Amino acid sequence: MGLLKITGLSKKYGAVTVLDGFNLDVTECTLRCLLGPNGAGKTTAMDMITGRQRADTGSILFDGHEIRGLREDKIARRGIGRKFQIPSVIRDLTVQENLFLAAADEVNPLRNMFRFGIGRARGRIDYVAELVGLKTRLAAAAGFLSHGETQWLEIGIVLMQDPKLLLMDEPAAGMTEHEAEKTVEIFNMLKKTHTLLVVEHDMAFVRGVADAVTVMHLGSVLAEGTMAEIEKNDEVRHVYLGTGDVADAA
């Protein structure tokens, strides 16, 4: 049984159907990539899982419990962390403050009134900063980071929460080749202990990390399998603008 099990998820915006009976099963300690052309509904699927949008019908089981309809912060506290497609770090806080903010081990506002200084989050901040290569940038304002560094900070923020399931929406977008390679390493390390669902258009990146792949089209599943199987699938090739090669689609 997977850690995340989505069945028959549908969502309409007015007359537009964005998700149409979408199914997904993510096994524990694996990395599944979610592919699909622009507008396929990948980000919307993540919106449903994290409670940002409400699905019309369907079920989202996380760790065996229905989480559909729960509030965003409750879902997050169940152990689902999310990196957004559009980086949303707090730009006028430092890297360290962004990471400390994400150390949401205590969310009670009354207790947080009496918490000063980084305290017991120190170790975890240093560990995560080291992991995403921002150890020397802790004191910099997040708004001054390069694009790749901002992506890493986003990833770091998700790691600070230490969620069971990590949702990563286009983590390598805008990264240099070198940066993307390093991110591949990080993800491959993470999947030994965490479960990941990754949306990415960069096929080299997907080949580097994916244990399994789901291809979406028009809000439902078009194909599922390993990356090798997916690349041979005619339907998938056709959907990707008929280029004949998934790799060109990005």
Partner 1 sequence: MTSSNLYHNSKAQWAVYAVFFIIVLAVPAVIDDSYTLNLLATFGVFAMLALSVSLVWGAGGVLTLGQGVPFGLAAYCMAMTMQMQAQTPDSPMPPFMANNSLTQLPLMWEPFKSTTTGLLIALFFPTVLWTLFGGLMFAARVHGGFVAVMTLAMLSAIGLLVLDIQPYTDGANGITPPNALLIAGHSIDPYSPTAYIIVAVALVVLAALSKALLAGKFGLVTHAIRTDSERTRFLGYNVFLYQTLLFGIAGFIASIAGCLFVMLEQYVSPAQLDVSFSVGMVIWTGVGGRASLLWAMLGALLINAGQTVVGDTLLNTWLLFLGIFFILVVRFLPKGLAGVAEWLVGFFLRRRGPAQHQAVAPAHEGG
Question: Which residues contact ligand ATP (rule: CB under 6 A)?
Answer: 13, 16, 18, 36, 38-44, 85
Name the residue nearer to ligand ATP (CB basis): 36 or 51. Answer: 36
Part of the chain binding Mg ion (CB under 5 A), chosen from 14-22, 80-88, 97-105, 218-226: 80-88
The residue type at 125: I
Looking only at the bridges linking them, the beta strands covering 65-66 and 57-62 are antiparallel
Looking only at the bridges linking them, the beta strands covering 212-217 and 57-62 are unpaired
Residues 100-119 that bind partner 1 (CB under 8 A): 100-102, 104, 106-107, 109-110, 112-116
Give me the least distance between CB of 114 and partner 1, in Å please. Answer: 7
Of 4, 11, 69, nearest to 220 by C-alpha is: 11
Taking CB under 8 A as the rule, does residue 90 contact partner 1?
yes
Name the residue nearer to partner 1 (CB basis): 167 or 230. Answer: 167
Rounded Cα gap, residues 167 and 33, in angstroms: 10
Rounded Cα gap, residues 54 and 33, in angstroms: 23
Cα–Cα distances (Å) from 245 to 48, 153, 235, 240, in that order, read 30, 32, 11, 8
Taking CB under 8 A as the rule, does residue 140 contact partner 1?
yes
Residue 184 phi, psi (nearest 5): -55, -45
**Binding partner at 127 among partner 1, Mg ion, ligand ATP, none, C-beta below 5 to 8 Å by kind:** none
Name the residue nearer to ligand ATP (CB basis): 75 or 134. Answer: 75
Name the residue nearer to ligand ATP (CB basis): 44 or 50. Answer: 44
Taking CB under 5 A as the rule, does residue 43 contact Mg ion?
yes
**Binding partner at 73 among partner 1, ligand ATP, Mg ion, none, C-beta below 5 to 8 Å by kind:** partner 1
Cα–Cα distances (Å) from 87 to 38, 127, 172, 235, 242, in that order, read 18, 22, 11, 32, 31
Which tokens belong to 21? Answer: 């009976």
Rounded Cα gap, residues 101 and 145, in angstroms: 18
Using CB atoms, what's the residue nearest to ligand ATP?
43
Q: Which residues bind partner 1 (CB under 8 A)?
A: 50, 52, 71-73, 76-77, 81-82, 84, 88, 90-94, 97, 100-102, 104, 106-107, 109-110, 112-116, 139-141, 143-144, 157, 161
